[in-house]
Every structure is written in C-alpha cells, then in structure tokens.
C-alpha cells in the first residue's frame, strides 16, 4: 500500500500548475546511445524561479537531442538551448488548463485509491483462503480483516492529502 501511495505521489507531482518541478521531465525520453532514456538520467535538472527549469546534459553532445525531446513532448513549453544547457520557461496556466490539470489530478488520485483497495481485496482473500484451510480461526480472520481495513483507510487518506495539496497548487 505504501508503494501505491508513492506511485500516486509521483504521478501527481508534475501536475502543479505554473510551477516548474524536475518531475515534469521524468516521463520524457531521449534517444541516446541507441536506447530511450529518461531526461533525468542524462542530465541535471534544476529549478530556475519563478517558472523555469535548467537542464544540463552530462554529455554536451546530447544538448540538441534533449531539447528536441522536450519540444516534441506534451509539456507545453519550449526548450531553448545555448549549446551547453537548455532553459525551459513554463507558461502561465490558463483557466482551461487548470481545469484539465484538476481533472487529471483527480483521476490519478482515484487510480491510487483503486490500487490500495485492490491490495486490500487480495489480502482479505488470502485470509479467507487461510480460514477455509483452517489455518486461522474466525476471530483471527475478523481481527486481521479489521486491521487491513484500517491500513486501507490510512493509505486512502494519504492519497486524499496528496490530492488536496495538488489541487491547492493548481488553484494558486
């Protein structure tokens, strides 16, 4: 369940409107050395306030390829290269963009909740199989089922907190 919450956090991180975060580039892949590699593995990514990123490839020969990958992505920003590094200025979000980001954030949070609930279902089914095989008693089945539900509620609440933080950032 912790992994499901962490996955939701990673999916929600780049959705903060108007804010440049290094996580924005995690999903962008660059064709380098005959493989598709995520930008953070090929370059140092730093924040340049207020809404900018500076990308410095470890191999200067990749500046053009990284800039092209960023420009071809759905990031919504243009990459400007100066031969050594790439500067990205995130545009200010429009009201329509904010609505789309909020919708996407809610969808990502719901996917996280579903993952946690599926883990709960699998754990309860395992307990039921153990009970059917008479490995545990009814009392243990009920007690452990309640513990699993408490863990589920705790993890769903953590995802809801992440969603609230993301929605607040989108509205700023």
Domains in the chain, CATH or no CATH each? 18-89 (3.30.1360.40), 95-171 (1.10.132.20)
CA dist 84 and 36 (Å) reads 21
pLDDT of residue 16: 64
Task: Indicate the average pLDDT of the chain.
Answer: 89
Lookup: tokens for 82: 């100066």
Query: pTM, whole model, 2 decimals?
Result: 0.70
Which residues does residue 46 pair with via DSSP β-bridges, in sequence order?
Answer: 54
- Going by the DSSP 8-state scheme, the letter that residue 93 receives in this structure is P
pLDDT per position as a tens digit, 127-166: 999 999 999 999 999 999 999 999 999 999 999 999 999 8
């Amino acid at each position: 369940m912790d992994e499901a919450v962490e996955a939701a956090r990673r999916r929600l991180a780049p959705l903060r409107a108007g804010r440049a975060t290094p996580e924005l580039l995690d999903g962008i892949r660059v064709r380098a050395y005959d493989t598709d590699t995520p930008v953070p593995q090929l370059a140092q990514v730093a924040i340049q306030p207020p809404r900018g990123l500076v990308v410095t490839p470890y191999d200067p020969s990749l500046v053009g390829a990284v800039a092209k990958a960023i420009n071809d992505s759905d990031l919504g920003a243009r990459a400007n290269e100066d031969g050594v590094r790439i500067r990205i200025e995130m545009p200010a979000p429009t009201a329509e963009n904010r609505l789309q980001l909020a919708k996407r954030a809610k969808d990502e949070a719901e996917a996280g909740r579903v993952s946690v609930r599926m883990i709960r279902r699998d754990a309860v089914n395992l307990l039921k199989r153990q009970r059917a095989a008479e490995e545990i008693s009814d009392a243990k089945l009920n007690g452990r089922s309640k513990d699993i539900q408490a863990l589920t509620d705790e993890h769903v609440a953590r995802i809801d907190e992440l969603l609230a933080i993301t929605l607040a950032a989108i509205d700023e």
